Amino acid sequence: MALMANISNQELERQYSPSLWSHRMDKDAVIEAHVKETTEGTRLSRTLVQTELNIPYGQSESETFDLYLPQYLISYGCSKEESGFMVSPLVSRGIAVMVMDYDIAPKGNMDLMVSQVRRSIAATLTRYPHDIYLCGHSAGAHLAAMMLCTDWGDVVIRPNIKGAVLVSGIYDLLPIIHTYVNDALGMSPEVAARNSPMLFVADVARNAGACKIAVVAAEHDSPEFKRQSKDYFQGVGPLLSAPSGSIPRVTTSIFLISSHYFLSTCVLVRREKSAE
């Protein structure tokens, strides 16, 4: 879990800036393309499948989630206006998808965001008490990993987490307190530590030990992102009773749009194997 040796603050900034690592376009273009693709995909998905939109799970304007039906549940942590792009291949296989909104920084701090995602899952289960499968990318992977180490002792229906696919996530937040990312988050070392899934892998074994987890790093992720994925998988994998795996190289930047994409297949296969 050690940080790269003798890394400068300038290099640390570069390592934790995903938009700088695209091999196809520059920083501004890759952000614009990503937002355009995911937003348009979400709009299309809403025309193709049955939906329940803007379901509240709290009092804040941001505390809402969308459901794409029918019968199973995957929770994907990200802005719901940009996360519905991936639902069509999942819903077509009988998987209901929930995507939630939460208060991103600077409006929301890290403790609040983690709490909001927990409450959104608890609220979903009061309406649809099914097994759940977590899938998250980047910040969503971090939040999904935090759900895996939650004991859920104070909820009405305890989530039965059957599987998780974590893509290009950060599992140790301590390095990013030294980067621009923390300008909005304002994390102290204590806040970063208590929201670092890497420090709570033993809790995953207690609370989601039967869960099958895939930890995914993209081919063109920065070395720090790849290190974090490797360290988290090596930490959590041996503690689980169900077989899990790491997927070290995913080359496409937009995934889960088609059922033929590698990562879509991974999600579908893991759900089907977990249901056996």
pLDDT of residue 181: 93
For the chain, give me the number of helices (H) and strands (E)? 11, 8
Specify whether the CB–CB gap between 16 and 3 falls below 8 A.
no
Whether the predicted model's global pTM rises above the 0.85 cut: no
Question: How far is Cα 87 from Cα 99, in angstroms, rounded to an integer?
Answer: 10
pLDDT of residue 31: 81
Question: How far is Cα 28 from Cα 20, in angstroms, rounded to an integer?
Answer: 9
Question: How far is Cα 270 from Cα 276, in angstroms, rounded to an integer?
Answer: 10
Domain chopping of the chain, boundaries: 9-274
Residue 130: C-alpha distances to residues 71, 228, 229, 232 (Å): 8, 31, 28, 27
pLDDT of residue 83: 57
pLDDT of residue 250: 42
pLDDT of residue 275: 54
Specify whether the CB–CB gap between 256 and 85 falls below 8 A.
yes
pLDDT of residue 272: 56
Quickly name the fold that domain 9-274 has: Rossmann fold (3.40.50)
76 phi, psi to nearest 5 deg: -125, 115
> What is the chain's pLDDT, residue by residue, as a tens digit (276 residues)?
555 557 888 899 899 988 888 877 888 887 887 778 777 777 776 676 778 889 999 989 989 988 877 544 555 545 666 555 667 777 777 777 888 888 989 999 999 999 999 999 999 888 888 888 888 888 999 999 999 999 998 888 889 888 888 989 999 999 999 999 999 999 999 999 999 999 999 999 888 878 888 888 888 899 999 999 999 999 998 877 665 555 544 444 434 434 444 455 455 545 555 555
DSSP codes of every residue in 13-44 = HHHT-GGGG-SSS-HHHHHHHHHHHHHHHHHH
pLDDT of residue 165: 86
**Plot region of 134 (φ>0 → left; ψ -120 to 50 → alpha; else → beta):** beta
Question: Residues 113, 75, 161, 52: is their CA dihedral positive or negative?
Answer: positive
Question: How far is Cα 233 from Cα 236, in angstroms, rounded to an integer?
Answer: 5
β 161-167/64-68 pair status: unpaired
Q: Which runs of E-coded beta strand occur in the chain?
A: 51-56, 64-68, 72-77, 95-100, 132-137, 161-167, 212-218, 245-250
pLDDT of residue 207: 87
pLDDT of residue 241: 65
Rg (CA), the chain: 17
pLDDT of residue 254: 39
pLDDT of residue 109: 96
pLDDT of residue 89: 74
pLDDT of residue 129: 83
